[in-house]
Amino acid sequence: MINEVVTSKKVVALTFDDGPNSTFTPQVLEILADEDAKATFFMIGEHIDKCPEIVKIANEQGHEIGNHTFTHAKLSGLTPEQILVEIEATEAIVSRLIGRNPIVFRPPYLDYNDRVVTILNEKGYVMVGAQNLEAQDWEQPGVEHIVKASIDRVKPGSILIFHDGFGDRSQTIEAVRLLVVELRSEGYQMVTVSELLKLAES
């Protein structure tokens, strides 16, 4: 699982899990557009079914669509066949909407085992973690906490995790609004995970 890449360039990857959500994902997209920032959205297949247009818009705006399973399942408790269904069902929907399969994957709850790793490797996915887990935006710990815990972990090559689906994400929205301005003021460029990985390779 990749939590960061080694690079001297001031780049970070913002990532958003559990969307798309009809209320919060468009707000995230607006914030990113205002700062000319790109991000990776790890989307759940069931949620994509409800908001397909948001997926298309995110893709058209240059953001990356990642795979976050179809039902947000805890993969370590599933058989290989069930794991494949979770991954490939979301693959199929994303491919239909944007014309290509996702190439980055984040397991729900960051839960995985050897079976999951083997399947992801066979399918050519990169499994993505994050460095700012202390922010715990999914627990709604307060805007200030989310911002500080994220900024404290930022360095060139960092991958940061936030959530735009499941429940009230208004704290996350406000935290990200402040965070992208702060990152920009410190000279950081915000890119997709795949763009970050390419920088590490160059």
Residues designated catalytic: 17, 163
Interior angle at CA 199, CA 158 and CA 105, nearest 5: 60
Burial class (CB in 10 A: 0-12, 13-18, 19+), 45: buried
Residue of 112, 70, 106 whose CA lies nearest to 88: 70
117-154 core/surface letters (b: 16 or more CB in 10 A; e: else)? eebbeebebbbbbbbbeebebbebeebebbbebbbebb
DSSP secondary-structure letter at 28? H
